[in-house]
Structure 1
Amino acid sequence: MENKLKHLEFIQSIITRMNTNSFQIKGMSITITAALLALTASDYNILYVSIVYFSLFVFWGLDAYYLSQEKGYRELYEEVRRLTEDNIDFNLKLKKEYTEGNNSWNHTLLNKTIWTLYSLQAIIALVLILVFKHYVK
């Protein structure tokens, strides 16, 4: 039983790391967007606007990737949980089917919690950019 528990701990550690990465990406996305919008407010420049949206798409993609991997490792955790002690091999490699379907990057990208956060950021940025364009000269 000790090997099984250790293997599950390894997998749980990876799940926690993926979740932490996702959380940090959300924070960085908001911080960088706010900083670029502050620059845009002081000196309207189309380059800042471009960087805001480019960074939003990059963070959106990275966040979806980490969440997709987290879901895959949750599947691996469930598989290992059902194994007998004799079948524990400490394999941490994800099977392809663990990151397909609902766990795929594409599906996770359009997950309502992810999609809502980044689209809301994009809409708020657009509104502020339009306001800045009108008032900053």
Structure 2
Amino acid sequence: MNESKISHLEMIQNIITRMNSNSFLLKGWTVTIFVGLFAFANVTEMDSRFIIIALIPTVIFMFLDSYFLRQERLFRHLYEYVRTTNDRYIDFSMSTKRYQKQKDTKYLKVILSKTIWPCYVPIIAVTLIIFLKNPYVTNFIFSKWHAILNYLS
């Protein structure tokens, strides 16, 4: 293996490492914001709009984390291509366009991967449970539901 191929592989590996680091940092920030928001708040007396605000950064970070994981997978495909390509044909291209159609790089497949949903779905579920357990929210929901049922009967 010549030096140019090794350099190209190192560049790709650095990008993969950076994407992985970004993903790890996003998970850390998500947990920090979630725990911080509920640790300093009295959940039973909290305004329901305040509870639902916890979903905003969680969902944004989930999609951003999915983006980084998708980019990481695309660059892994590029790495594999460069690794198996003859040294003469190394052109230092960093384009991942040819791998966009790969099955494991589809956005839905990435979101449902075992590195994304186990982190974010429980946080979203706990937030929704706390939101629905809030007496102000449940009273509002039941009063509206009762009004709809009375209207229909």
Q: With structure 1 as the length reference, what TM-score do the two structures score?
A: 0.86
Q: CA deviation at 1:78?
A: 0.3
Aligned-partner residue type, residue 123 of structure 1: A
Aligned-partner residue type, residue 26 of structure 2: I
Q: CA deviation at 1:39?
A: 4.3
CA distance in 2, matches of 1:31, 1:38: 10
| DSSP-derived class of the 2:42 partner | helix
1:64 counterpart residue number: 66
CA distance in 2, matches of 1:110, 1:64: 9
Please report the RMSD computed on the Cα atoms of aligned residues, expressed in angstroms. 1.9
8 Å Cα contact 1:102/1:108 also seen in 2: yes
CA distance in 2, matches of 1:111, 1:24: 18
1:51 counterpart residue number: 53
| DSSP-derived class of the 2:54 partner | helix
8 Å Cα contact 2:23/2:65 also seen in 1: yes
Q: How many residues align?
A: 133
The 5 A counterparts of 1:83-122 are 83-98=85-100, 100-122=102-124
Q: CA deviation at 1:57?
A: 0.9
CA distance in 1, matches of 2:55, 2:101: 27
Deviates more, 1:83-92 or 1:14-23: 83-92
Q: CA deviation at 1:22?
A: 0.4
Aligned-partner residue type, residue 53 of structure 1: L
Q: Deviations over 1:82-136 (max 9, x none)?
A: 11221111111112434642212221011133112111112233344456x35xx
Q: With structure 2 as the length reference, what TM-score do the two structures score?
A: 0.77
1:30 counterpart residue number: 31
4+ runs deviating over 3 angstroms:
126-131
Q: Which runs of 5+ in 1 are unaligned?
A: none
CA distance in 2, matches of 1:48, 1:73: 39
CA distance in 1, matches of 2:132, 2:41: 10
Matched residues, percent identical? 36
